[in-house]
C-alpha cells in the first residue's frame, strides 16, 4: 500500500517562503519585460500598444513603487490622460439601454452587402495567358 508524501515542518515552511519569494521576484521581472516591449513598440510607432504595455508594466511593478510610478508617467505621457482614468469606466444601470431581442439589434444596422467578384470564364483566362506570352516573345525577338 502506498503512503502519501509527507513534509516535515521545516520543508513546508521553506516551500512557503520560496513561493512568496518567487511571487515577489516574478512580478517585477515580468514588468521589466513589458517595459522593454513598450519601448520597442513606441520606437516602431505603435503608441497605443506601447501605452497598454506601460500600464501592464506598472501593474506588475507594484512591489517597487518608484518604478511603477515611472511606468505610469510613461502611460500618461502617451495617452495624454491622468492616471485616474486608467481603470474601467463605471456606469450605472440607468445608462443601459434595454433590448428586447437580437432582432432589435440587427434591425438597427444597415444590411451588409458583399460584392461578388466576377469570375472569368476559363477560355478568357487562357486567351489572356496566350496574349501575355506572345507579347513577351515579340519583345524578345525585337530586342
Rounded distance, CA 66 to CA 110, Å? Answer: 51
pLDDT tens per residue, range 22-74:
767 788 889 999 999 999 999 999 999 999 999 999 999 888 889 999 999 99
Of the candidates 74, 88, 83, the residue with the CA atom closest to the CA atom of residue 34 = 74
Alpha carbon dihedral 53, 55, 58, 62, in 10-degree steps, equals -120
Q: Kindly report the number of other CB atoms within 10 A of residue 15's CB atom.
A: 11
Tell me the domain boundaries of the chain: 27-83
For the full predicted model, state whether its pTM sits above 0.85. no
Rounded distance, CA 131 to CA 87, Å? Answer: 63
Amino acid at each position: 500500500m502506498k503512503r502519501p508524501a509527507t513534509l516535515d515542518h521545516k520543508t513546508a515552511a521553506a516551500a512557503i517562503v520560496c513561493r512568496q519569494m518567487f511571487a515577489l521576484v516574478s512580478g517585477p521581472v515580468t514588468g521589466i519585460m513589458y517595459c522593454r516591449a513598450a519601448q520597442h513598440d513606441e520606437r516602431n510607432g505603435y503608441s497605443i500598444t506601447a501605452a497598454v504595455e506601460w500600464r501592464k508594466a506598472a501593474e506588475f511593478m507594484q512591489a517597487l513603487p518608484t518604478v511603477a510610478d515611472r511606468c505610469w508617467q510613461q502611460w500618461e505621457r502617451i495617452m495624454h490622460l491622468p492616471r485616474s482614468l486608467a481603470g474601467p469606466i463605471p456606469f450605472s444601470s440607468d445608462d443601459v439601454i434595454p433590448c428586447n431581442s437580437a432582432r432589435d439589434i440587427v434591425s438597427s444596422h444597415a444590411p451588409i452587402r458583399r460584392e461578388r467578384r466576377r469570375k472569368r470564364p476559363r477560355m478568357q483566362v487562357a486567351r489572356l495567358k496566350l496574349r501575355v506570352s506572345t507579347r513577351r516573345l515579340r519583345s524578345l525577338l525585337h530586342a
